[in-house]
Structure 1
Amino acid sequence: MDRAALLADDPIWLILIKVVILLLLGPIMTTFMIIWERKVVARMQQRPGPNRVGPNGWLQSVADAIKLPFKEQIIPTTADRKVYWLAPLVSTIPAIVAFSVIPFGPEVSIFGERTVLQLVDLPVGVLVILACSSMGVYGIVLAGWSSGSPYPLLGGLRSAAQVISYEIAMGLSFVAVIVFAGSLSTGDIVDAQHSIWYALALAPSFVIYLISMVGETNRAPFDLPEAESELVGGFHTEYSSMKFALFFLAEYTNMVIVSAFATTLFLGGYMAPWPISLINDNYFNTGWWPLLWFLGKTLVLLFIYIWLRGTLPRLRYDQFMRIGWKVLVPINLVWIVVVIAVNVIVDEGLSTGQWLLGSGIVLVVLIGLSLLLPERQVPDEDQVPVTGGGYPVPPLDLQIPGKPKRKVRPGRRDRARVGAGAPDQEKETD
């Protein structure tokens, strides 16, 4: 029986169990990720991390989760209260919904009922996850606008530009996977990677997705919507208590979602990694073992998030936008053309001469387009003096004229010194 048929036969009690587990997965992973991130970054920076609450400080996130709901709620008088309350929910709910289409494992038995470790297997599962990750940004935009404060508004505007830039790059990185797998179903994509993971076969798409998912989730070095050095706290500056906790929950849940999605698309999903798969493929890819492999791959990607935050400085906004529009999107478009061309060659069985002719035509077209591009205008040194990053600054030899010096007549004490035989000299002062 295939995956869709098994899920269709799930009884109501089994569906409710899956729903409850998926609802708890976001808060549990958020609690774990916060304390894990604090400890890992503390180890990287050679400083003590949380070590007071619980054994070795592992209950610090639990203490924070208990503390936040009891903190005072401060709402600005200029805030639009309805949208102000709605924004955290708009960010949190889509992030949790996205778990429903991710396959965590193959067919298993739960209390004697055969099922699949997945809530639903939609034929457009990839688009569902992409839509859920995009919806969360609307909560950030609404939070920035409804706060009635300039810093949250700037953070919301940055987030709107950010999602447009990196959502396009992320969506384009799926195209090559869909072409190779021949399906938009997440379960079918995992099954298509039985022979080789798409992280190896489609390495450019994998790298572009890794960069895009960091920008999509507003994490360092792309955390510009909440840059504390520029915007105090960004879009959540005016939020406190439980509403602030919901934004934290949405951010870390989105991190788990995009990492689990990367595992599904590029790392073979729940299939055993290479050394283990050589031992006994039928044993380690059946039962509850695949759930362990899926969580392990997801945690590796989450560790990359922490690694980037602990080592890289925040980018400037112009650098951030330039990477999205001038690097990721063009490379992705060229890579999609290459993937489709290779796919056609394999399907049609073209000869070597036909393949070389097609490659030559594409090369000539690319060279012709490059010749048509306008040359970059480099400003003369006389027009723009020594610059910092292309911005005109005052010349280095600029001298600010000082006040003219004036002569001061000697006072009584100076005249007495002159009378006593001291040399007569005039005193100059500014």
Structure 2
Amino acid sequence: MNSLTDRTSVTRRRTPLNRSQIAGFWGAWAGWTLDGMDSFIYALVLTPALTELLPRSGYAATPANVGLAGSILFALFLVGWGLSFIWGPLADRYGRTKVLAGTIFTFAIFTGLAATSHNVWELGIYRFIAGVGIGGEWALAGTYVAEAWPEDRRKMGAGYLQTGYYAGFFLAAALNYTIGVHYGWRAMFLTGAVPVVVAILILLRVKESEKWEKAEARTVRTKPLREILGPAYRRRTWVACILLTIAIIGLWAGAVYEPSAVIQLATKAGMAKNDAIRTASLATGLLSIATILGCLALPPLAERIGRKKTLAIYFLGMAVAIVGSFGWAFYLPNGLAPFIAWLFVLGFFGGNFALFSLWLPEQFETRVRATAFAFCTSFGRFVGAGVNFLLGAAVLHMHTLGVPVALTAIAFIVGLFVIPFAPETRGEVLPQ
């Protein structure tokens, strides 16, 4: 009995957070939320934006051309995401908070500029540069929270942080349901400029993490990128790259094509255009809520059964959900309701990204942590850009959306064979 009381008392006595840690978390969370909102705005306004801009660029706005141009532009966006690895070494050298604010400034300004696009080329350039900023935010927010929060809280902090990205999806869906339907796609991009305020607050209110300051004081200057690819870290770096690549392929296959799939199914069910758009927004909201629940459920599970087993469960769930939604429900005669039901399952297991916010910082020392996080995420985005281009070509060739997206489930099955090569860090403290 005493032992149970002792354990309960230890569980309740968590290290209190100070004002800087709280402000830092909410700054990182808000940036990640608005990052998610900005990145998903494109998926929601893809069809209306390209329908207007393609004729101005000399191309007919046919469904095939909209699909192909959308995939090409999104591939450019992912290449921008991939180039975001530049932020990692900057953060290891100059600190987490300043560089985090820089990433938010970048994606906010160029998302807002996308509203001024006169043709698809301008839209592509703005989205490419916005991608560079958006891609860096996760690595720096995840690194900051892992270092700034006390050891007994940082694991759940990773889960809380990751909910921000999907809260951004929900926010984008809500904006599309209200602003997008009434004022169009340009107004949606203008809302993406709001994160500039968050960047200013981060610069003014959030202190640098003590772990980085201590590491900076004792570090002999090295090249962090060379170090994470050297003998000490090479294996865990490349395994993390592969696992993140698989997660990114699944996220963007499911999440990016979900609104288009819902609009197609709603139109097939006899809905008017605006009603179909609203239905897509509601479905995206459901997907987002489910993913937030998946993010919150993940850290306790990872603490109980380990990082590797948890990721295996989430990867298997993603494979089943992608096949169930895009491979089966999408082709049913009345598939709208079953497809949306499967989206909840897809969203929940899409919370696998919370594991990387928890797990990646545990695998690298402070002096190279931001570089490693940014490099691994960027690698996955480069590959994701290529896969997205192939998906667009497959949709054009097969004249259907469902089967090409459903085939991405294969990546998660491959991931189950890669997970055993990753290090298990359950029970270990964050390395200094």
More strand per residue: 1 or 2? 1
Say yes or no: TM over 0.5.
no
Larger of the two Rg values belongs to structure: 1
Between Structure 1 and Structure 2, the one with more helix by share is: 2
Range into which the TM-score falls when normalised by the shorter chain: 0.3 to 0.5
With normalisation by structure 2, the TM-score equals 0.33
Q: TM-score, normalised by structure 1?
A: 0.33
